[in-house]
Amino acid sequence: MKLLRKIMVVTANDLLMGDAVWLTIDDGWTRDITRAETTQEKARAQARLLSAQSQSDAVIGPYLAEVRLGPDGPEPLHFREIFRTRGPSNYAHGKQEIRPGG
């Protein structure tokens, strides 16, 4: 079993709203990254990405993003991915509107 360097989630943008979503274990999509499915197995990550790509009627541009496991679940590592969980920094719009503090 080959392991990736980091734990991964599958993320994409929602077709209708355009916002960031994350793949869940039941092949659904969540707007809360802490509920996303994680894996560090290379084969599993590739399989989950393929599964996401097959859902082109629901999401756009799925890709694997690195995370670490925090107390509430997966947390993004790169600052771009952190912004995607929150929204812009100049207004309290986007996901931080729904979940203040992101």
Partner 1 sequence: MYTYNDFDHAFVRERIAQFRAQVERRMAGHLTEEEFKPLRLMNGLYLQLHAYMLRIAIPYGTLNARQMRQLAMIATRWDKGYGHFTTRQNIQFNWPKLRDVPDILEDLADVQMHAIQTSGNTIRNVTADHFAGAAADEIADPRPYAELIRQWSTDHPEFQFLPRKFKIALTGSPDDRAVTRAHDIGLRMVRNDAGDTGFEVIIGGGLGRTPIIGKVLRVFLPVQDLLPYLEAIVSVYNLLGRRDNKYKARIKITVREHGMEAIRRLVEDEFSVRRSSFKGADQALLNDIKENFRPPAFINAPVDGFQVDREGDVQFNTWAKTNLAGHKHPDYAIVTISLKAHGATPGDATAKQMQVMADLAERYGHDELRISHEQNIILPHVHKSHLFDVYNTLSEVGLATANIGLVSDIIACPGMDYCALATARSIPIAQAIATRMDTLKLEHDIGPLKIKISGCINACGHHHLGHIGILGLDRAGVENYQITLGGEATQNARLGQRAGPGFPASEIVPAIERIVFAYLECRKSSAETFIETCHRIGLGPFKVVLYGEGCASHAA
The contact set with partner 1 (CB under 8 A) reads 13, 15-20, 56-57, 60-61, 77-80, 83-84, 87-91, 93-95
C-beta of 41 vs 58, nearer to partner 1: 58
C-beta of 71 vs 90, nearer to partner 1: 90
Cα–Cα distance between 65 and 92 in angstroms, integer? 24
Nearest distance in Å: CB 44, partner 1: 24
